[in-house]
Amino acid sequence: MSLGPTGHMVLYKYYSWDVWINIVLKSKKVRFSNPYYFNDPFETKAADHPLSNTAWFDADLERFSGIRENVVVFCLTRNPLNSLMWSHYGESHRGVVVGFDMVAMGFYVKKKCVLPCQFGNVIYTNTKPKGFYSDFFNDGVFSLQEFDPMYLQALQRNYLYKSQEWAYEEEVRVVRHREALGGEKKQTYETFLDVVFDPAAVRELYFGWRCQKDRKLPRRAMKQIAERVIHEFPNAELRVVEPESDTWRLNSHILGDDFFSC
């Protein structure tokens, strides 16, 4: 996490090269996804009925349906230089990380978000939460289209609890109702919803350290891409990631005037 020049919080999204090119650069969209299709099989399981084992109780079935039909999530992280994240989500260091201004994206706005970013810190635990929680049997939790602090415990149990094994991701989530984003309530369980964003909200952009070498992009082609990025995202600072020589850490440097003058 960083603070942009405006003092706003900047959080980061890791992308493969093709997704970044086609969804972010060309279409100016971000992709909200339904949590049931995330890569963690325990997603939303912290909210299971305490008597659930192999059989699903009616309460769990109603909860599953409510989330699948109504809820989409945008996942971000605080750290643009996490080597594991680059390996898992940044196409093995061949992709791109985008730093989004949370205010410019509207992710602070309680009237628009079921869980705005300031309440979306993922909670990592070694032991899975059990037992009933506030509003366990309240189906209204899944019809919310704005943040209501009365439902905070229910929202956390449904969307924010994960195993400690995932703590390296330093994840922050923005949860929204599908209809509030202009989508429709879906009983066909679509996995994602693409949403247009303001290009001015992009504050930082990191090219993976294998981005140019492994793709065999000539310097001229890379220069053209960078110039397009500057044109499309005028507020963005462009950086290139590289491993430090004497530690296990990644570092980054600004793509300076010398790159464009060559």
Is residue 56 scored above 60 in pLDDT? no
pLDDT value of position 185: 52
Is residue 55 scored above 60 in pLDDT? no
- State which residues form the domain around 36: 2-203
Q: Say what percent of the chain tops pLDDT 90.
A: 62
Domain annotation covers residue 92: yes
Q: What pLDDT digit, counting tens, does each position of 184-222 carry?
A: 555 455 788 999 999 999 999 999 998 866 555 666 777
Residues 6+ positions from 227 with CB-CB distance below 8 Å:
260
Average pLDDT over residues 85-109: 95
Q: What pLDDT digit, counting tens, does each position of 111-141 carry?
A: 999 999 999 999 999 999 888 777 666 667 8
Decide which of 182 and 55 is more confident.
182
Q: What pLDDT digit, counting tens, does each position of 17-50 carry?
A: 999 999 999 999 999 999 988 989 999 888 887 7
Average pLDDT over residues 253-257: 78
- Look at the block and give the residue holding tokens 């993976």: 208
- Give the chain's domain count: 1
Domain annotation covers residue 199: yes
Domain annotation covers residue 15: yes
pLDDT value of position 134: 77
Alpha carbons 201 and 236: distance in angstroms, whole number: 8
Domain annotation covers residue 211: no
Domain annotation covers residue 125: yes
Alpha carbons 204 and 99: distance in angstroms, whole number: 5
Specify the amino acid at residue 112. K
pLDDT value of position 182: 74
Is residue 143 scored above 70 in pLDDT? yes
At 32 the three-state DSSP class reads strand
Taking a C-beta distance cutoff of 8 angstroms, is the pair 118, 158 a contact? no
pLDDT value of position 192: 86
Average pLDDT over residues 149-166: 94
At 232 the three-state DSSP class reads helix
Residues 6+ positions from 27 with CB-CB distance below 8 Å:
194, 196
Domain annotation covers residue 194: yes
Confidence of residue 161 (pLDDT cuts 50, 70, 90): very high
pTM of the model: 0.89
Other beta carbons within 10 Å of 45: 17
29's enclosing H/E stretch is strand 29-33
Is residue 106 scored above 90 in pLDDT? yes
Chain-centre distance for alpha carbon 68: 18
144's enclosing H/E stretch is none
Longest distance between any two alpha carbons in the chain, whole Å: 66
C-alpha gyration radius of the chain: 20
CA trace torsion 136, 137, 141, 142 (10° rounding): 120
Is residue 156 scored above 90 in pLDDT? yes
Confidence of residue 2 (pLDDT cuts 50, 70, 90): low
pLDDT value of position 183: 58
Alpha carbons 244 and 203: distance in angstroms, whole number: 24
Alpha carbons 31 and 104: distance in angstroms, whole number: 16
> Average pLDDT, whole number, for the chain?
86
